[in-house]
Amino acid sequence: MTAAPIRVVAFGGGHGLSASLRALRHCSRELELDITAIVTVGDDGGSSGRLRAERDALLPPGDLRQALAALAADDPTTRRTASLMQHRFAEMAVVRSVGERRADRSKDSLAGHAVGNLLLLGLIEMLGDPVVALDHAAAMVGARGRVLPMALHAVGIEADIEDHSGRSLLVRGQHSVAVADGRVTALRLVPENPPTCPEAIEAVRAADWLIFGPGSWYTSVLPHLLVPELAAAIVASPARRLVTLNLSADKETSGLSTADHLAALQWYLPELRVDTVLADAKWAGEPEPVRAAAQELGAELVLAPVAVADGSPRHDPESLGVALVPVLGAAR
């Protein structure tokens, strides 16, 4: 009798979620996985931010597009379609003068937009249902999994940030929070109770594993824990839970230790219990504080080499996939 697929739900956004999904694709060589990505919808920078401002886009498409590309099938046609979705329009060529360059930029409304962002915007407008639109886009790239939004419309992210002089500042917007100087002391969504995606809730309830991280902690990982209905489903799910830690702090988590990243999960969702914390031994630093923080969540710490070989703080999807196989495949 063939074993049922392992149902995995991965939470996040941007490059971190993309690395996680690509790693899960590598796991699929040894494990049969049913993959669902639940993607944050707070992006207000770059192309997504422009579409939110200029078109009142129902959802910021950039992180959703990246998740679709990460799950794309490997045959030449779907890979080319995925590459097209990732293609970003360059600025118009400058022919004569700096003055003309400025004029060209003002006329070039496509510059900076990714093709996939415009495609998803068009599908959502045409079909009127973001889940149907995402499923259609997934079929276009032969996605080996499903991509769903964290909420059914875009949310705002705001944070209280303590600057280097000790003052508390209110910072609004995902991009602004991500690049702000100082320490995040509180994080909120606007609105506080956005409408959740029923398909995402169902995926969480049916999952065997829930995976959090890697990714920007305050703007890609923690926002999922702030959506009340989604957070309740995460706590109630019978699934096991895995946290993949970042390799280094970014600007929004400057000053936080690796152990502090785990403490933040418990701060924003005290009922959260975790089974496994996966970290890179080289980048995690002294392991005992991380192990203790993992134990506070009920988790075992697993150390494995998951970084790229060039020494930069980026996850290597193949190495991450190798590390995930014994974890996800254990005790079936």
Domain locations in the chain? 1-41+194-332, 44-144
* Token reading at 152: 């059914």
| Banded pLDDT at 200 (limits 50, 70, 90) | very high
Average pLDDT in the 216-227 region? 96
CA distance 147 to 150: 10
Average pLDDT in the 86-109 region? 65
* Token reading at 204: 């969480």
* Token reading at 107: 């006329």
Instruction: Provide the pLDDT for residue 100.
Output: 54
pLDDT, tens only, 299-317 = 999 999 999 989 889 999 9
Instruction: Provide the pLDDT for residue 99.
Output: 52
| Total residues belonging to the chain | 332
Does residue 274 register a pLDDT over 70? yes
The angle formed by the CA atoms of residues 11, 227 and 217, to the nearest 5 degrees, is 45
User: Mean pLDDT, the chain, as a whole number?
Assistant: 92
Asked if 150 contacts 197 with a C-beta cutoff of 8 angstroms, the reply is yes
Q: Between residues 8 and 183, which one has the greater pLDDT?
A: 8
Average pLDDT in the 65-78 region? 96
Asked if 65 contacts 87 with a C-beta cutoff of 8 angstroms, the reply is no
Global confidence as pTM = 0.93
Instruction: Provide the pLDDT for residue 332.
Output: 52
At 71, which amino acid appears?
A: L
pLDDT, tens only, 49-70 = 999 999 999 999 999 999 999 9
Does residue 103 register a pLDDT over 50? no
Helices 115-127 + 46-55 axis angle, to 10:
30
CATH classification code of 1-41+194-332: 3.40.50.10680
pLDDT, tens only, 240-256 = 999 999 998 888 887 78
